[in-house]
Amino acid sequence: MKGLGGEECGITGWALGTGGRILAWWEEERYPEGIKWKFLEHKGPVFAPPYEPLPENVKFYYDGKVMKLSTKAEEVATFFAKMLDHEYTTKEIFRKNFFKDWRKEMTSEEKSTITSLSKCDFTHMSQYFKAQSEARKQMSKEEKQKIKEENERLLKEYGYCVMDNHKERIANFKIEPPGLFRGRGNHPKMGMLKRRIMPEDIIINCSKDSKIPAPPPGHKWKEVRHDNKVTWLVSWTENIQGSIKYIMLNPSSRIKGEKDWQKYETARRLKKCVDKIRNQYREDWKSKEMKVRQRAVALYFIDKLALRAGNEKEEGETADTVGCCSLRVEHIKLHPELDGQEYVVEFDFLGKDSIRYYNKVPVEKRVFKNLQLFMENKQPEDDLFDRLNTSILNKHLQDLMEGLTAKVFRTYNASITLQQQLKELTNPDDNIPAKILSYNRANRAVAILCNHQRAPPKTFEKSMMNLQSKIDAKKEQLADARRELKSAKADAKVRRDEKSKKTVESKKKAVQRIEEQLMKLEVQATDREENKQIALGTSKLNYLDPRISVAWCKKWGIPIEKIYNKTQREKFAWAIDMAEEDYEF
DNA sequence: AATTGTACTTAGGATTATTCAG
DNA sequence: CTGAATAATCCTAAGTACAATT
């Protein structure tokens, strides 16, 4: 193991600074471009537990008759049985894909008997699994403790690696278990069998001079390589899309954190030239070249609406979703006038994860006229920007600023919006809960911009009612406390002794306390209502320069724990350490 | 210039752990 | 102490980006 300039502490492997203090990664020297590490040692992946056949008394029925399945066919059947309550299993594509793949696992006898999925009865198997999970919940404390300890042992042994001078947490050291593919939205491959990954599928990446992880007994790795130009430790190819999956490090690691930091620095560089770029694309709306006009309008959408770039996708391989460059004519409607506004564009399309993007946006007249032009003589299913793709766009952006790509606009606009909103919404006289509400509102403005949605929690209505009744109860309690205070005051006026004065004081305090509690509840209710369909986590984790939040906390004396939970604090340790209250994005 | 392959970030839902009210 | 609500964590799919290849 080699140090990066500091001395090296023999036991922990941490780099030491000049004062002998342990250096955090963000205080160390960086590697030259391209090299990701010099030393990498790990224990390899943890494989999915082997299949455990069902007990004899758990039956599968075909066409009303008990049927004993071969182990392989049974395993795949259990995948379906475990999903029986899920909407997936009612979908035609899911059922068709599942059945096709299941049949591949059957013996020839099974194949000739089982010819229709609708004649399969998995309910007994399903009940068995429900009972199992119920039993797991009912386990004694000791049993639960034992499982917890086993997990911790696994984490301790396989959950960490040594990369250069640091012991780092691995994000996903467990190999994905076999199961049925759950694509999102209207995915053509939903229900297909995700096969079991074996050591023979696995490529190990580590350094030559490290202790190479041993494959499970009787097995060997597909390959062991020593590539320090990449950050992954383990990879394999999955069978649904044929794409490569990786085991990589936790967000708290140097290699992820440094990249994250760099991402925000790139966005800050965009801040310095964004005005120029905006003027440029506005000019380009008038260009003689169609290509340039399309590029300029697309960039305007990416900037103004925080749309994703929109790479091309292979048709029929994935759900039909789009981003900016892949928008089709059918995804927008042009309204010369709508609700008293001129030149309104109505967007309606499915984006990443098949989340719907719906928005009515007034745009400049030039943009509107250009869109009309782009749509001329086209069918609904034709590309809106037929002379443009993400590669062309990104090449252009690279010319405008080094390191600039389409997604930098999302990062930039998200972070700058948070900073502005915090400035605007924070009221210095507010107490801490009210300030946190303001923070959440600023966060929410970003989530809305980025269209980060969630399904409203199943229990939303109920929990809202619960909260309301809590508020009502608190209001009554407050009224009572006020009455008591009043009578205590009257009492003190008559008696004029120390004891009754003290009573008044304590009653006053009680009223104050209850007022605060009430206010906290009301704030909570507002916050929750406004958050019904909006997911704050994604922007907080991926788009908002954490130094903005850290600075805000320092400025207003808000404990950082109120904004970031433990995991988030680990991920953003660099920002928490670095940012002062005057930090500006 | 289109196509393919690789490596990485971003994403919402599912599952598990913790907290809170009764 | 117990069960429901809530928060945290886990999981892995689905994007972006860019290099290599045809």
Full pLDDT tens readout for chain A, 585 residues: 333 333 443 344 455 566 667 789 999 888 888 899 999 999 999 999 999 999 999 999 999 999 999 999 999 999 999 999 999 999 999 999 999 999 999 999 999 999 999 999 999 999 999 888 888 887 777 778 888 888 888 999 999 999 998 999 999 999 999 999 999 999 999 999 999 999 999 999 999 999 999 999 999 999 999 999 999 999 999 999 999 999 999 999 999 999 999 999 999 999 999 999 999 999 999 999 999 999 999 999 999 999 999 999 998 899 999 999 999 999 999 999 999 999 999 999 999 999 999 999 999 999 999 999 999 999 999 999 999 999 999 999 999 999 999 999 999 999 999 999 999 999 999 888 889 989 999 999 999 999 998 888 777 777 777 777 777 777 777 777 888 888 888 888 888 888 777 888 887 887 777 777 777 777 677 777 778 889 999 999 999 999 999 999 999 999 999 999 999 999 999 999 999 999 999
CA gap A383, A288 in Å, rounded = 20
Query: Is the minimum distance from the CB of A95 to strand C below 7 Å?
Result: no
Q: Which residue has the tokens 């194949």?
A: A111
Query: Is the minimum distance from the CB of A535 to strand B below 7 Å?
Result: yes
- Name A residues 539-558 whose Cβ lies under 7 Å from strand C: none
At A17 the pLDDT is 60
CA gap A566, A374 in Å, rounded = 49
Q: Which nucleotide C1' is nearest A318 CA? A: C14
List, in order, residues 6 or more apart from A510 with CB less than 8 Å away: A481, A484, A485
Query: Is the minimum distance from the CB of A321 to strand C below 7 Å?
Result: yes
Distance A336 CA to C12 C1' (A): 44
Query: Is the minimum distance from the CB of A443 to strand B below 7 Å?
Result: no
Query: Is the minimum distance from the CB of A353 to strand C below 7 Å?
Result: yes
Task: Note whether A6 and A28 are within 8 A (CB).
Answer: yes
Distance between start and end Cα atoms, chain A: 37
Query: Is the minimum distance from the CB of A463 to strand C below 7 Å?
Result: yes
DSSP A309: -
Give the CA dihedral A396, A397, A403, A409, nearest 10 degrees: -160
Three-state SS string over A99-148 comes to HHHHHHHCCHHHHHHCCCHHHEECHHHHHHHHHHHHHHHHCCHHHHHHHH
Of the candidates A47, A101, A109, the residue with the CA atom closest to the CA atom of residue A79: A101
- Single-letter amino acid, residue A572: F
Q: Which nucleotide C1' is nearest A355 CA? A: B12
Distance A14 CA to B13 C1' (A): 38
Task: Note whether A255 and A249 are within 8 A (CB).
Answer: yes
- Single-letter amino acid, residue A423: K
DSSP A447: H
Number of other residues whose CB lies within 10 A of the CB of residue A116: 9
Query: Is the minimum distance from the CB of A571 to strand B below 7 Å?
Result: no
A431 is written with which tokens?
């107490």
Distance A134 CA to C9 C1' (A): 21
Query: Is the minimum distance from the CB of A472 to strand B below 7 Å?
Result: no
Nearest residue to nucleotide B5, by CA–C1' distance, is A243
Give catalytic status of residue A62 as yes or no: no
Its sign, for the CA torsion A372, A376, A381, A387, is negative
At A88 the pLDDT is 93
At A132 the pLDDT is 86
Distance A336 CA to C10 C1' (A): 48
- Residue A6, SS3? coil
Distance A357 CA to C13 C1' (A): 19
Distance A540 CA to B12 C1' (A): 14
Q: Which nucleotide C1' is nearest A309 CA? A: C16
CA gap A1, A259 in Å, rounded = 23
CA gap A220, A442 in Å, rounded = 52
At A471 the pLDDT is 74
Query: Is the minimum distance from the CB of A566 to strand C below 7 Å?
Result: yes
Q: Which nucleotide C1' is nearest A564 CA? A: C8
Nearest residue to nucleotide B3, by CA–C1' distance, is A314
What is the side-by-side order of every strand in the sheet holding A332-338?
A: A332-338, A341-350, A356-362
At A14 the pLDDT is 56
CA distances from A288 to A314, A370, A377, A388, A524 (A): 32, 12, 19, 15, 54
- Residue A243, SS3? coil
At A6 the pLDDT is 36
- Name A residues 365-424 whose Cβ lies under 7 Å from strand C: 390-391, 394, 398, 403, 405-408
Protein-contacted positions of strand B (CB under 7 Å)? 3, 5-14, 16-17
Distance A34 CA to B7 C1' (A): 12
Distance A282 CA to B1 C1' (A): 28
Q: Which of A357, A543, A564, A583 is catalytic?
A: A543
